[in-house]
């Protein structure tokens, strides 16, 4: 059973570029081992992340993220069973919204800033779909079928 979970969070402190790269590297290493794909968007201290994979694996990873002391205001925006992945080519794609045309954010929000707390989960997911269409997500990798079958032993 595949699921998609979309959540928002705020960084407790400033996240350095090096720390962001470390988080991304860990995700890209660990996620294929447990069959997780997705995308992470950041703008300042605001994060919007979509996780896709098996129900148990996605739930376990989200539960770890929710108690991570680097996050606050962790909120599920959308959770649904899915028949196919939207982010199958990304063990964890990355979008730095500070480098995206502000008009794209205005398409889905009242302001040209990332505010997943002020829009619906549907609007946030539409933003991610639009970013895919525009090629704004970086870090495309394949999720190997053998990796997707491995047990959920390693987490982000």
Query: What pTM was estimated for this model as a whole?
Result: 0.82
Model confidence pLDDT, tens digit, residues 10-31: 999 888 878 888 888 888 888 8
In a 10 Å sphere around its CB, with 0-12 CB exposed, 13-18 middle and 19+ buried, how is residue 149 labelled? exposed
Provide the pLDDT for residue 153.
32
Running along the chain, 156 residues long, what does each successive block of 10 average in pLDDT? 96 85 85 91 89 97 94 96 89 74 90 92 92 70 39 32
Residue (of 52, 126, 125, 120) closest to 89 by Cα position: 52
Contact predicate 27/156, CB 8 Å: yes
């Amino acid at each position: 059973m595949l699921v998609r979970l979309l959540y928002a969070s705020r960084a407790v402190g400033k996240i350095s570029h090096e720390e962001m790269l470390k988080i991304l590297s860990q995700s890209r290493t660990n996620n294929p081992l447990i069959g997780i794909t997705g995308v992470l968007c950041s703008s300042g201290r605001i994060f919007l992340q979509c996780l896709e994979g098996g129900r148990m694996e996605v739930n376990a990873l989200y539960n770890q993220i929710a108690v991570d002391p680097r996050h606050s205001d962790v909120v599920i925006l959308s959770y649904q069973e899915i028949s196919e992945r939207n982010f199958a080519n990304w063990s964890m794609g990355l979008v730095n919204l500070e480098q995206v045309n502000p008009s794209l954010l205005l398409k889905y929000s009242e302001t040209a800033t990332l505010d997943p707390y002020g829009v619906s989960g549907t609007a946030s997911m539409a933003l991610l779909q639009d970013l895919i269409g525009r090629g704004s997500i970086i870090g495309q990798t394949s999720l190997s079928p053998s990796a997707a079958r491995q047990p959920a032993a390693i987490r982000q």
